[in-house]
Chain A
């Protein structure tokens, strides 16, 4: 057997300690006022909605079969809406076979209070902008929109009724959202010389400009009502004949709502109305205590396992624990991404449980090896021979055992993760939480192979080279002869 050099133990130990420290605490620097992240630590891990709170919703078209193009445009519009609400940390999964879109985003904790219902409503609103002559009753418009939404219905009468309602709406509409080139929030006086207020400036495209031209001419001196879906947002009186294709929406806006309106118009109207098929909301408070709890559990588990291993297996047990630290570090690295250029994995509570479980199972490899070495020592061979035989003989058992965990982990990842391999038969599901469990299990097993098996054996072989540590008792044997 190739003799493993004595310094190898310390080299491996230093590597593991470095990995452990950096993966937990991260490495940061300062560039003037900004904090620069060189290596990501635990604080940089992206937590799932069951820890941070948040919303998960599945949208489906309201009774209509959507084409792939339409689904794409819906996805794009939803993304624009999320970004304009300052939600950058979202996940969006369209399912083109079943016409579903799953959205997941965390609760905002800083500026606004957690209001999941409003967030879902804003995202799923159809947001059609319509300019209409006069001021029709809200109930009339609301009624028409409700009838028109049934356009995808299977019942013939409902479909025909929907088409009729749609036709009526189109006839009432002077200018629509699709005629708007750009919308911008502004703060300016509405009447010349009057006080400034928050308004939304619309820039119409050429066709829209023409329509608006005709509309303002026709309704000079009368009111034109501006509708967003079934809500009238403004009803100004037409004072002038506007030919340049610019329109102003004024009403009781403040800075925030004006910007929101402009963003909504810019993002565009959805090609059809959406319904929320299922949702799940978790408030931030529920998860934060869970995170602390799991932290305690991890620490307690590590301490107890350390004690157990050292008492049962002495020196190999101690080495096993170092290997375990290495395995944990690899898990953390795989979750946080380690370097700032790699995105962090979304970690959920089952994911953390998976990490803790893989600690318990990772130690198994070391236990099998140590037991083998004990067996060999009992038969009275030399220390080196025992270690050699022990490590060789136990490898097949460790390998086979770990493979089964890998199979389970891969299935969890494929079925419950973004790959969603069974979704063509069974539809997209909204459990992303179990996906994290599969991921941390897989990473744990790989980490176990590298650290629990590879690094541990290197350390064992190397440290047994030291004369002072060659007492067989340290490895579980009886008194050395």
Chain B
């Protein structure tokens, strides 16, 4: 048969095992001491709220406002909030550039009303549009100008503004506009209103002092007990899938020792799952329902790979003599399958890689936490099918065969049913080894 690779997987299997164990050990140490596992609120329960905003606001001021608001709410008096800041990808509907994420410490589920109170506090402390001016202008005139600018704007809604006035000091006065909740105000809108005011009242030095428009980008609140239930449910789903798959492999490959094949396949799967878990840990992504979906997907894909290899082994076994050592059959099969395994990995990686790259560019965290572990899991899946499942199975089979060979030799007749007789271990090993090498030599010749 056409064979483009000549890698001795079986001989090198010890190297592969060491590499895998080594990587896992390093990751484990990192996990225990440097990078603790993060778990999403979907499993632990808790509340995360994300607000997008724009403008020059000090992070400390935001923290102060939120903490003060919490003190005023009965249910949240004693709660603490972790706040982190990041960048937003501005879109037409949400032109804001910044995001602040509030996570309530201690897995607290916050009610809808309390969440609304926080949002209102933020919007009131950092109101939307603000202009300062000097001199005497009639309020109605200012409002008329601004209302016309708003009506002219394509994005803002007519009559959506309410006004309030302050005298910050004798010379400068401030007019603050509150627009109907969550109406996005683009930079163009602000500039349009500012220029309209400056044109209408050229002597009054209207200046744009707008601070921000806080809008809720997303929020999520899960009760703690619900979170635990959900986690158990996911776990049950994974175990169910694994059991069904072992069952299926054992059934389809019973001719080559189905159950052991199934078990070794599962060992490879566990290897892949651990790798996926460590990806989440190292990249600081919280374990959430994406983790479960990736785990299940890799289960299916890795098993797919392993099955293609087992199928080839089964076929080669059929075609070769019963004396051929299993190690050689497997080696041949693995080399024959390598091209296909690599090509399929490439196409799948192209597919999921496009998703990953695009979501990194657009900064969509939820997809990155889905695509990155998936990609690494796919690579690990191919690797484990070739270098872990098959060699392990060979070792198991050889272990089984050694037992059988000992019994057969002792009888002197290979066709009779085996009967165990006492024989010293050393002698048995020697005899078995001699037989193996003789069989190997015999098998090598027709294969070349």
Q: Identify the A interface with B (CB < 8 A).
A: 50, 58, 113-117, 120-121, 275-286, 288-290, 292-294, 296-298, 300-301, 304-305, 308-309, 312, 349-350, 353, 356-357, 359-361, 363-364, 367-368, 371, 374-375, 378-379, 393, 396-397, 400-405, 407-409, 411-412, 415-416, 422-423, 425-427, 429-431, 433-434, 437, 441
Given contacts A50-B366, A397-B311, contact A286 B303 (CB under 8 A): no
B244 touches A350 (CB 8 A): no
Q: Is the CB of B347 within 8 A of A404?
A: no
Give 4 closest A-B pairs by Cβ, nearest first.
Answer: A360-B351, A285-B94, A408-B300, A360-B348
Q: Write the chain B residue with the least CB distance to A313.
A: B343
Q: Are B350 and A350 in contact (CB under 8 A)?
A: no
In the assembled complex, how far is the CB of residue B43 from the closest CB belonging to chain A, in whole angstroms?
10
Q: Which single residue of chain A is at the shortest CB-CB distance from B288? A: A431
A113→B183 CA distance, assembly (Å)? 7
Indicate whether B252 reaches chain A with its CB closer than 8 angstroms: yes
Whether A301 pairs with B350 at a CB distance below 8 angstroms is: yes
The yes or no answer to B346 lying at the interface (CB within 8 A) is yes
Contacts A379-B1, A396-B311, A434-B292 given; indicate if A279 touches B347 (C-beta within 8 A).
no
Q: Could you say which of A279, A288, A300, A361 contacts B301, with CB atoms under 8 Å apart?
A: A361
With an 8 A cutoff between CB atoms, is B111 at the interface? yes
Q: How close is A370's CB to chain B, nearest CB, in angstroms?
A: 9
**In the complex, A289→B290 CA distance in Å?**
19
What are 8 A-B contacts defined by CB distance under 8 Å? A115-B181, A278-B223, A285-B93, A289-B91, A357-B297, A404-B303, A415-B234, A415-B240
By the criterion CB–CB under 8 Å, are B352 and A360 in contact? Answer: yes
CA–CA, A298 to B355, complex, Å?
Answer: 7
Contact of B358 among A294, A363, A371, A423 (CB under 8 A): A294
Is B82 in contact with chain A by the CB < 8 A criterion? no
In Å, the complex CA distance between A297 and B375 comes to 14
B191 at interface (Cβ–Cβ under 8 A)? no
Enumerate chain A residues within 8 angstroms of B308, measured Cβ to Cβ: 368, 397, 400-401
Taking the closest CB of chain B, its distance from the CB of A82, in whole angstroms, is: 16
Q: Is the CB of B182 within 8 A of A400?
A: no
B89, A363: Cβ atoms closer than 8 Å: no
Chain B residues within CB distance 8 Å of chain A = 1-2, 42, 52, 89, 91-94, 109, 111-113, 115-116, 119, 180-184, 215-223, 226, 229-230, 232-234, 236-237, 240-241, 244-245, 248, 252, 289-290, 292-293, 296-297, 299-301, 303-305, 307-308, 311-312, 315, 336, 339-340, 343-344, 346-352, 354-355, 357-359, 361-362, 364, 366-367, 370-371, 374
Are A117 and B115 in contact, with the CB atoms below 8 A? yes
Chain A contacts of B312 at CB under 8 A?
A: 397
Name the residue on A nearest B314 (C-beta): A396
Residues in A with CB closer than 8 Å to B336 are: 375
Q: Which residue of A lies closest to B119 (CB)?
A: A117
Q: A363 CA to B115 CA in the complex, in Å?
A: 48
Give the CA-CA distance A402 to B347 in the complex, in Å: 16
- B351 near A290 with CB under 8 A, answer no
Seed contacts A293-B364, A363-B344, A371-B343; 17 additional CB < 8 Å A-B pairs: A275-B111, A281-B216, A285-B93, A285-B94, A293-B361, A293-B362, A305-B347, A357-B348, A357-B351, A360-B349, A363-B347, A364-B347, A400-B307, A401-B308, A403-B248, A404-B300, A433-B289
B232: which of A356, A360, A426, A441 is its contact (CB, 8 Å)? A426
- B300 / chain A contacts, CB cutoff of 8 Å: 404-405, 407-409
Instruction: Name A282's contact: one of B218, B222, B349, B371 (CB within 8 Å).
Output: B218
Q: By the criterion CB–CB under 8 Å, are B344 and A364 in contact?
A: yes
**Complex interface: chain B residues within 8 A of A121 (CB):** 112-113
Contact with B218, one of A281, A296, A434 (Cβ below 8 angstroms): A281
A115–B182 CB distance below 8 A:
yes
A473 to chain B, nearest CB (A): 15
A357 to B219, CA, bound (A): 29
The DSSP consensus for interface residues of chain B is: helix
Determine if A429 and B364 form an interchain contact, defined as CB atoms under 8 angstroms apart.
no
Note all chain A residues with C-beta closer than 8 A to B180. 113
Q: Shortest beta-carbon distance, A282 to chain B, in Å?
A: 5
Within the complex, the shortest CB–CB distance from B44 to chain A, in Å, comes to 12
A276 near B299: Cβ-Cβ < 8 Å: no
Q: Which residues of A lie under 8 Å from residue B229 when comparing CB positions?
A: 426-427, 429
Docked-complex contact B340 and A356, CB < 8 angstroms = no
Distance of A129 Cα from B115 Cα, bound (Å): 27
Measured between alpha carbons, how far is A49 from B162 in the docked complex, in Å?
A: 31
Contacts of A357 in B (CB 8 A): 297, 348, 351-352, 374
A342 to chain B, nearest CB (A): 26
A415 to B231, CA, bound (A): 12
Q: Is the CB of B119 within 8 A of A279?
A: no
- Complex: how many Å from CA A296 to CA B348? 17
Chain A residues within an 8 Å CB radius of B183: 113
The minimal Cβ–Cβ distance linking A181 to chain B, given in whole angstroms, is 32
Query: Which residues of B are found within 8 Å of A120, using beta-carbon distances?
Result: 112
Residues of B within 8 A of A405 (CB): 300-301, 304
> Smallest CB–CB gap between A227 and chain B, Å?
19
CA distance A433 to B371 in the complex (A): 15
In the bound assembly, the distance between CA atoms of A150 and B219 in angstroms comes to: 28
Q: In whole Å, how far is B59's beta carbon from the nearest beta carbon of chain A?
A: 22
* Complex Cα gap A408–B351 (Å): 19
Q: Are A297 and B358 in contact (CB under 8 A)?
A: yes
For B307, the closest partner residue in chain A by CB is: A400
Which residue of chain A has the shortest Cβ distance to B235 in the bound complex? A426
Interface centre among B226, B305, B346 (most CB of A within 10 A): B226
- Is the Cβ of B252 less than 8 Å from the Cβ of A300? no
What residues of chain A lie closer than 8 Å to B216, measured between beta carbons?
116, 281, 283
Docked-complex contact A401 and B226, CB < 8 angstroms: no
